[in-house]
């Protein structure tokens, strides 16, 4: 598939490799057919009919077996997935030599042997994974958005020779959240905050107050003997990175440990005994 190939040429070439192809609206990423990627096919007659009807249509391929899996590295201003890709390569999760498509945003699509893995996304790392049930645009498609415009072009062509294990990638880039061990309080907490309520509040909080609310929620959970994992996970879903969540967790552990007491009712009552909350502080 040369860089000068027409959309129909590219579609036929992919189909000849056994990869299902789909027409997409010119300059966009939305399929032209009514059933989306479910209509993707290797039928050359159908493909010729589609591109006779829509000669300027972009070319998309269905990802997963028997085609290719794709690691989509995004670039948005100063934020990008290059750091994540570097970590994956250094750890040996991503092998060198994968076919590479440069995308209009300035990112890349890396092609791997197709599998039946699930699609996935790590928004904080600016990477997505497309396998069974997904699709991606391929050269010579072009896209125009409010922030960028350009064509998809090959930087390195060829057949994929390695797999990408998405579970291994997510484990490396988003390690398990801290699992504290805390003694339950000797007295009922003075507030009836449930862990689900705390987690929901953390996830809904707007930027600017997220860290402060997460810190408070961790403290409440520690003093009440709750499992803090739902709160930590809510912090990540709400937009904070794993490292930011872990740092806030450590601050909460230090605060509650320094206070030297679990929540008691009423607050500050001299008649209530002081107890100590102990939690394991994970290391990065």
Q: What is the pLDDT of residues 16-40, one digit of tens each?
A: 999 999 999 999 999 999 998 899 9
Question: What's the pLDDT at 185?
Answer: 47
* CATH 3.30.2250-classified regions of the chain: 7-173
CA distances from 216 to 143, 187, 212, 240 (A): 44, 19, 6, 15
Confidence of residue 193 (pLDDT cuts 50, 70, 90): low
Contact 33, 73 (CB under 8 A): no
Tell me the three state secondary structure of residue 64. coil
DSSP summary character for residue 41: B
CA distances from 155 to 50, 97, 138, 139, 232 (A): 27, 11, 12, 11, 39
CA–CA dist 74, 141 (Å, integer): 17
Exposed e or buried b for every residue in 175-196, given b needs 16+ CB within 10 A? eebbebebeebeeebeeebebe
Closest residue by Cα to residue 182 from 284, 265, 280:
280
The distance from CA 225 to its chain's CA centroid, rounded to whole angstroms, is 31
Q: Is 117 exposed, middle or buried (0-12, 13-18, 19+ CB in 10 A)?
A: buried
Please state, rounded to an integer, the average pLDDT across all residues of the chain.
83
Q: Is 282 exposed, middle or buried (0-12, 13-18, 19+ CB in 10 A)?
A: middle
Question: What's the pLDDT at 253?
Answer: 87
Phi, psi of 237 (to 5 degrees): -65, -30
Q: What is the pLDDT of residues 52-107, one digit of tens each?
A: 999 999 999 999 999 999 999 999 888 999 999 999 999 999 988 999 999 999 99
Closest residue by Cα to residue 217 from 251, 242, 184, 188:
251
Tell me the three state secondary structure of residue 139. coil
Tell me the three state secondary structure of residue 145. coil
pLDDT at 184 over 70: no
Phi, psi of 147 (to 5 degrees): -110, -20
CA–CA dist 19, 30 (Å, integer): 19
Q: Out of 43-47, 62-66, 93-97, 109-113, which region has the weakest mean confidence (pLDDT)?
A: 93-97
CA–CA dist 253, 250 (Å, integer): 5
Question: What's the pLDDT at 178?
Answer: 60
Q: What is the pLDDT of residues 204-257, one digit of tens each?
A: 877 777 788 888 888 888 887 778 888 888 888 888 888 888 888 888 888 888
CA distances from 37 to 58, 121, 164, 214, 274 (A): 13, 19, 22, 40, 62
- Ramachandran class of 205: left when φ > 0, alpha when ψ lies in -120 to 50, beta otherwise: beta
Question: What's the pLDDT at 180?
Answer: 55
Fold of 7-173: Prim-pol fold (3.30.2250)
pTM: 0.64
């Amino acid at each position: 598939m040369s860089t000068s190939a027409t959309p129909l040429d590219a579609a036929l070439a992919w189909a000849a490799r056994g990869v299902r192809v789909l027409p997409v609206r010119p300059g966009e990423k939305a399929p032209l057919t009514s059933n989306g990627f479910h209509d993707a096919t290797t039928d050359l007659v159908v493909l010729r009919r589609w591109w006779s009807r829509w000669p300027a249509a972009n070319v998309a391929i269905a990802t997963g077996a028997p085609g290719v899996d794709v690691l989509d590295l995004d670039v948005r201003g100063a934020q990008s997935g290059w750091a994540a890709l570097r970590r994956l390569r250094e750890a040996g999760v991503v092998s060198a030599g994968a076919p590479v498509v440069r995308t209009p945003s300035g990112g890349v699509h890396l092609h791997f042997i197709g599998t039946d893995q699930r699609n996935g996304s790590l928004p904080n790392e600016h990477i997505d994974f497309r396998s069974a049930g997904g699709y991606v645009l391929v050269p010579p498609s072009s896209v125009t958005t409010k922030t960028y415009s350009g064509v998809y072009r090959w930087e390195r062509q060829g057949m994929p020779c390695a797999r990408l294990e998405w579970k291994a990638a997510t484990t490396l880039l988003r390690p398990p959240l801290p699992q504290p061990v805390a003694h339950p309080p000797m007295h009922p907490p003075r507030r009836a905050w449930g862990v689900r309520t705390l987690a929901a509040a953390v996830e809904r909080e707007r930027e600017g107050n997220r860290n402060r609310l997460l810190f408070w929620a961790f403290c409440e959970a520690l003093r009440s003997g709750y499992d803090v994992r739902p709160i930590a996970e809510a912090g990540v879903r709400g937009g904070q990175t794993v490292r930011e969540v872990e740092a806030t967790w450590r601050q909460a552990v230090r605060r509650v440990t320094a206070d030297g007491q679990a929540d008691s009712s009423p607050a500050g009552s001299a008649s209530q005994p002081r107890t100590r909350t102990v939690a394991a502080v994970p290391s990065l």
